[in-house]
Chain A
Amino acid sequence: MTANAEAPGTEPKISARNVQVYYGDTHAIKDVSVDIEDKTVTAFIGPSGCGKSTFLRCINRMNDTIDVARVEGDIRIDGEDIYDRRVDPVQLRAKVGMVFQKPNPFPKSIYDNVAYGPRIHGLARNKAELDDIVERALRRGAIWDEVKDRLSAPGTGLSGGQQQRLCIARAVATEPEVLLMDEPCSALDPIATAQVEELIDELRQNYSVVIVTHSMQQAARVSQKTAFFHLGHLVEYGETDRIFTAPEDPRTESYITGRIG
């Protein structure tokens, strides 16, 4: 099943063709092809276990860290095959940032959490530059005002929503081009969720954001494009408005009307 980019002429940021993922003997992703555009929020929706998170983790090769996972097919970012032998996943992940389901700040200070990425990638020549990067990232993470007076406090001491925004700030500090978010709001309360969603909308100006969510409302609120996954297949992909108002595939319709899920 192929879903075409809807705006021919613009080069897609990420382009996947015939992607298969196996966990040991389990065929988790079955022949998925999709084009994801730059400066767009793309939502992956579907019932749990449908493979949406697995597919997301292929885009920055996080599946490499799982021994039994095997990825086949072709994923290109800016036309470069990220599963090429010459590609170092470390460099790739600097370009494709990721935010996880559960906020996972390191047991370090807020400052060190954000500075971690720039430090390992050598983005700052001196302390002043690093300070600058950290501040900018925290501002982009919409958390600067809350933490500017306690940058040396441990990141684990923040509230859940703050922790998740810190993790987003941490991810943008390495200046990625793509931001992957794996159910970033599932561990948050509604108020924190609203803040993060607002942030996602702002991030769209600079990045291509791919967000996995189990909430159709969230997908409708934040995304421009939506992909519906079911049992490892990409069932339908298109403009979010169209998916939610006029789905073409009966399975999509069943899901968004709440009959499967």
Chain B
Amino acid sequence: MIELLSAANAGVLTLLILALAALAYVLARHRALRAVDGDVRRLHSLPSYYGYAAAMLTAVPALLVLAVWLIVQPWLVQMQVAQTIPAADGARAVETLPALLSDAGIALGGTLEPAIVEAAQQHARLRALGHAGRSLVVLVLAIAGLVAALRMTDPTFRARNTVESGVRALLILAASLAILTTVGIVLSMLFESINFFRAHPWQDFFFGDSWSPNFRGDSDLSILPLLWGTLYISFIALAVAVPIGLYAAIYLSEYANNRVRSIAKPLLEILAGIPTIVYGLFALLTVGPFLVSVFGRGEDGLLGVDWMNGATSVLTAGLVMGIMLIPFVSSLSDDIINAVPQSLRDGSYGLGATHSETIRQVVLPAALPGIVGAILLAASRAIGETMIVVLGAGAIARISANPFEAMTTITTRIVSQLTGDTDFASPETLVAFALGLTLFVLTLALNVLALYIVRRYREQYE
């Protein structure tokens, strides 16, 4: 029996619960109808509501407990097992335990310490026990819910109200997922970042000047060279995207007639819909080689200079990212320029200002806060962009002002540190979480600031 219970995985359990819920629906609906001899008018609610109420009472508590159990059990088991492991290996080794045992519970590989094997076996035992308990509790809860629901079902039971408050709770739950996601993001990165700072001095991370991970255990892992690369590339991207995007938005919203607007605007927005991997490839295989043929190759190059050696560079990534951001800047600015009231434009025309004078001296100053917000959002996009820099920027961490050199960014290093075959517990891997957290905080700050500015701006003209 226990074996059967522990074998039931979460998917099977869910299906069982749903089957019970379906049964509950049929039984409760039937019971309600029978209680009034089929005269629906004597029921408080429509018969199907009795069914829904019963199904809800059966499924929801059971599924909730199942979900909580799924999250809590691994944590509890780990806490238990961690105490039995020799201190030198630390808590982290626990995560690797399941991989050490074969399905039959026999240690794979002969060189393991007995204590570890013991711990691994205990881990497996606890997990099986946990699974069995989970199945039992959840199923009992579902059946109890079913019975309780059936007992409640009589003509005066306010089934619709019950269902509706249940649905409302589900709606709230769905809406809260946004908070849960944010909390998940912060916690997942925070814990691993703390682990990282235990293994690596924080002074080096924040204030060191070099990034050179190695396997000897004395890596320099400073964020500054990465931050420099990130900001430099973002700066170039904005230097391309802001003027082009802004002028495009001005032209589209102020000058273009309906036909031009209805063609040019969607065409520009195609640029925003193209996946970043495409831009990455474009940077690596088209823009990079093109830039090399202009700025590199010495005598063979277009300019006869030898400034650029490889296709990947700050300029390559920055230019391509700039192209990607053009529609982002232009459509945000377009909205913002359109929010400037027509009466201001009329006032300016009425004084004999030309169209461009009106735009530069009245519309743009009035729209400035909104445009600043849009630029901040674009900057946050640029800082968090991954694929273009992974393919186009290079892998060398350095602080240099030369845009023709390859540099690397925070996002690139996150990818490379987490996709290698390195030990998950090493600072070289954990640093990715500290980088991720920094990136998150950085972009969050930009976003919050930008959204605040834009909201204030919109309120001003509402």
A residues sitting closer than 8 Å to B (CB atoms) are 60, 62, 65, 67, 90-95, 97-100, 102, 104-108, 116-117, 120-121, 167, 170-171, 174, 180
**Residues of chain B from 349 to 379 with CB closer than 8 A to chain A in the complex:** 349-354, 357, 361-362, 365-366
Contact A94 B349 (CB under 8 A): no
CB neighbours (8 Å) of B357 from chain A are 120
CB neighbours (8 Å) of A97 from chain B are 350-351
Q: Identify the stretch in B30-38, B201-209, B339-347, B429-437 within 8 Å (CB) of chain A at 4 or more residues.
A: B339-347
Task: Tell me which of B257, B344, B354, B366 contacts A90 (CB under 8 A).
Answer: B354
Does B14 make an interface contact (CB < 8 A)? no
Q: How far is the CA of A91 from the CA of B350 in the complex (A)?
A: 11
Does B276 make an interface contact (CB < 8 A)? no
Does B210 make an interface contact (CB < 8 A)? no
Q: How far is the CA of A65 from the CA of B342 in the complex (A)?
A: 11
Contact B353 A171 (CB under 8 A): no
CB neighbours (8 Å) of B347 from chain A are 100, 104-106, 167, 170
Greatest chain A CB density within 10 A among B350, B353, B365, B366 is at B350
Assuming A67-B257, A106-B362, is B343 touching A117 (CB within 8 A)?
A: no
Q: How far is the CA of A98 from the CA of B348 in the complex (A)?
A: 10
CB neighbours (8 Å) of B362 from chain A are 106, 116
Assuming A65-B346, A104-B346, is B351 touching A93 (CB within 8 A)?
A: yes
B residues sitting closer than 8 Å to A (CB atoms) are 257-258, 341, 343-354, 357, 361-362, 365-366
Q: How far is the CA of A107 from the CA of B362 in the complex (A)?
A: 8
Contact B351 A174 (CB under 8 A): yes
CB neighbours (8 Å) of A116 from chain B are 348, 351, 353, 361-362
Task: Tell me which of B258, B344, B361 contacts A104 (CB under 8 A).
Answer: B344
Contact B352 A62 (CB under 8 A): no
Contact A121 B352 (CB under 8 A): yes
Q: Which residue of B lies closest to A116 (CB)?
A: B351
CB neighbours (8 Å) of B345 from chain A are 65
Contact B353 A62 (CB under 8 A): no
Q: How far is the CA of A244 from the CA of B184 in the complex (A)?
A: 76
Q: How far is the CA of A105 from the CA of B353 in the complex (A)?
A: 15
CB neighbours (8 Å) of A91 from chain B are 352
B33 CB → nearest A CB, Å: 62
B367 CB → nearest A CB, Å: 10
Q: Which 4 A-B pairs have the closest CB atoms?
A: A94-B352, A98-B350, A93-B352, A104-B343
Starting from the known contacts A62-B349, A65-B345, 13 additional A-B residue pairs (CB-CB under 8 Å) come to A90-B354, A95-B352, A98-B346, A100-B346, A100-B350, A104-B341, A106-B348, A106-B366, A107-B365, A116-B351, A116-B353, A120-B361, A180-B350
Q: How far is the CA of A108 from the CA of B361 in the complex (A)?
A: 10
A75 CB → nearest B CB, Å: 17
B355 CB → nearest A CB, Å: 9
Q: How far is the CA of A155 from the CA of B353 in the complex (A)?
A: 19
Assuming A107-B366, A120-B361, is B353 touching A90 (CB within 8 A)?
A: yes
Contact A100 B349 (CB under 8 A): no
Q: How far is the CA of A116 from the CA of B343 in the complex (A)?
A: 16
Assuming A107-B366, A116-B361, A120-B361, is B349 touching A65 (CB within 8 A)?
A: yes
Q: Which residue of A lies closest to B367 (CB)?
A: A107
Contact B351 A108 (CB under 8 A): no
A18 CB → nearest B CB, Å: 25
Q: How far is the CA of A202 from the CA of B345 in the complex (A)?
A: 28
Q: How far is the CA of A219 from the CA of B55 in the complex (A)?
A: 74
A127 CB → nearest B CB, Å: 18
Q: How far is the CA of A170 from the CA of B343 in the complex (A)?
A: 14
Greatest chain B CB density within 10 A among A65, A99, A100 is at A65
Q: How far is the CA of A121 from the CA of B353 in the complex (A)?
A: 8
Q: Which residue of A lies closest to B347 (CB)?
A: A104
CB neighbours (8 Å) of B351 from chain A are 93-94, 97-98, 116-117, 120, 170-171, 174
CB neighbours (8 Å) of B349 from chain A are 62, 65, 93
Q: Which residue of A lies closest to B350 (CB)?
A: A98
Q: Which residue of B lies closest to A118 (CB)?
A: B351
CB neighbours (8 Å) of A105 from chain B are 347
Q: How far is the CA of A169 from the CA of B257 in the complex (A)?
A: 34
CB neighbours (8 Å) of A94 from chain B are 351-352
Contact A92 B344 (CB under 8 A): no
B71 CB → nearest A CB, Å: 52
Greatest chain A CB density within 10 A among B348, B351, B354 is at B351
Q: Which residue of B lies closest to A93 (CB)?
A: B352
Q: How far is the CA of A167 from the CA of B352 in the complex (A)?
A: 14
Name 8 A/B residue pairs within 8 A (Cβ), A-sorted. Answer: A93-B352, A97-B351, A100-B350, A106-B365, A116-B351, A120-B352, A121-B352, A170-B347
Q: How far is the CA of A92 from the CA of B365 in the complex (A)?
A: 25
Q: Which residue of A lies closest to B366 (CB)?
A: A107
Q: How far is the CA of A98 from the CA of B343 in the complex (A)?
A: 12
CB neighbours (8 Å) of B352 from chain A are 90-95, 117, 120-121, 174
Q: How far is the CA of A102 from the CA of B347 in the complex (A)?
A: 10
Contact B348 A62 (CB under 8 A): no
CB neighbours (8 Å) of B346 from chain A are 62, 65, 98, 100, 104
Q: How far is the CA of A192 from the CA of B258 in the complex (A)?
A: 41
Q: Which residue of B lies closest to A94 (CB)?
A: B352
Q: How far is the CA of A106 from the CA of B350 in the complex (A)?
A: 13
Q: How far is the CA of A92 from the CA of B258 in the complex (A)?
A: 27
Contact B354 A60 (CB under 8 A): no
Greatest chain A CB density within 10 A among B347, B354, B361 is at B347
Contact A108 B365 (CB under 8 A): yes
Q: How far is the CA of A171 from the CA of B348 in the complex (A)?
A: 10
Q: How far is the CA of A104 from the CA of B342 in the complex (A)?
A: 10
CB neighbours (8 Å) of A90 from chain B are 352-354
Greatest chain B CB density within 10 A among A102, A107, A121 is at A107
A12 CB → nearest B CB, Å: 22
A66 CB → nearest B CB, Å: 10
CB neighbours (8 Å) of B257 from chain A are 67
